[in-house]
């Protein structure tokens, strides 16, 4: 990721988070993949994209993951959708629909875009991005509250997330959640999830890289998360998913 993309993401994220507080249903974050370019109203890319989004809407809810490609040559579009591992089919469908409507509203003519919500991720692009770790399109959020013992705490977050990354990488849904005791009354909760186009080893590498980047923003913070095009990780000191 270039530093400008990086800073841009932080700026947008702060904005998105403040919106989320107000409206609840707002996306965590979205990117237009502007280097992919735009299409015009009569471009077949537009109708291919529409078909693609329809496919994802249909494919994703039952398994929590969908991937599709529509069209050929310069009009071909590729896309995937992923719901958080504990989200049921109904809620998954709602989220994927919302994501696709929202991108259509915000980025009507972009050939590529990504959007994240708490419950799902939707991404499409005019090139084949399957089976590759997306290290570029990534954003970071954190809880502003500081913990009292950052060194030990950071160690614990790493320990938990690294363990979850190992487990997620060999699990059928490439998804794992878990907890770690911090003290008698405090626990740490974590989540690791990859898009299911990744191989097992890629699904270890992607979150492992993100864990290595956590300290840029979340060092000693009560919560942190990294959402990317291929994986996401999160830790909090309260439970945030259903088991």
Ligand X SMILES: *[C@@H]1O[C@H](CO)[C@@H](O)[C@H](O)[C@H]1NC(C)=O
Interacting residue ranges for ligand X, rule: CB under 6 A: 33, 35-38, 67-69, 88, 90-91, 109, 125, 129-130, 132, 134, 136-137, 144-146, 151-152, 155, 197, 229
- Rounded to a whole number of angstroms, the minimum distance from the CB of residue 49 to ligand X is 14
Contacts of 65-74 spanning 24+ positions with Cβ under 8 A: 65/173, 65/195, 65/196, 66/96, 67/130, 67/196, 67/197, 69/128, 71/44, 71/45, 74/45, 74/126
| Minimum CB distance to ligand X, residue 109 (Å) | 5
Report how far apart, in Å, the C-alpha atoms of 238 and of each of 81, 168, 176, 222 are: 27, 20, 16, 9
- Shortest distance in whole angstroms from residue 229 CB to ligand X: 5
Q: Which is nearer to ligand X, 155 or 200 (CB)?
A: 155
CB closer to ligand X out of 156 and 225: 156
CA gyration radius, the chain: 18
State the nearest-atom distance from the C-beta of 106 to ligand X, in Å.
8
Token reading at 7: 């800073």
CA dihedral 157, 139, 84, 70 (to 10 degrees): -150
- Which C-beta is closer to ligand X: that of 61 or that of 225? 61
Measured from the CB of residue 224, what is the shortest distance to ligand X in angstroms?
Answer: 13
Residue 176 or 197: the one with the smaller Cβ distance to ligand X is 197
The residue among 207 and 229 lying less far from ligand X, judged by its C-beta, is 229
Cβ 81 vs Cβ 120: under 8 Å? yes
């Amino acid at each position: 990721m270039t530093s400008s993309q990086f800073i841009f993401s932080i700026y947008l994220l702060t904005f998105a988070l403040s919106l989320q507080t107000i409206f609840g249903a707002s996306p965590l974050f979205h990117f237009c993949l502007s280097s992919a370019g735009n299409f015009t109203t009569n471009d077949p890319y537009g109708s291919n994209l529409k078909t693609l989004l329809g496919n994802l809407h249909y494919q994703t809810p039952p398994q929590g993951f969908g991937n599709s490609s529509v069209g050929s040559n310069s009009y071909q579009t590729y896309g995937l959708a992923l719901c958080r591992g504990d989200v049921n089919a109904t809620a998954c469908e709602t989220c994927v629909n919302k994501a696709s409507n929202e991108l259509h509203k915000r980025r009507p003519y972009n050939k590529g875009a990504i959007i994240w919500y708490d419950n799902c991720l939707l991404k499409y692009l005019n090139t084949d991005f399957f089976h590759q770790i997306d290290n570029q399109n990534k954003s970071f959020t954190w809880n502003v509250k500081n913990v009292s013992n950052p060194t030990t705490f950071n160690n614990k977050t790493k320990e938990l997330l690294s363990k979850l990354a190992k487990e997620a990488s060999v699990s059928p849904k490439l998804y794992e959640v878990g907890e770690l005791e911090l003290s008698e009354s405090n626990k740490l909760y974590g989540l690791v999830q990859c898009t299911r186009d990744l191989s097992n080893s890629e699904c270890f590498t992607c979150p492992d890289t993100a864990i290595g980047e956590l300290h840029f923003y979340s060092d000693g913070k009560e919560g942190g998360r990294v959402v990317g095009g291929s994986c996401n990780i999160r830790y909090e000191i309260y439970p945030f998913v259903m088991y």
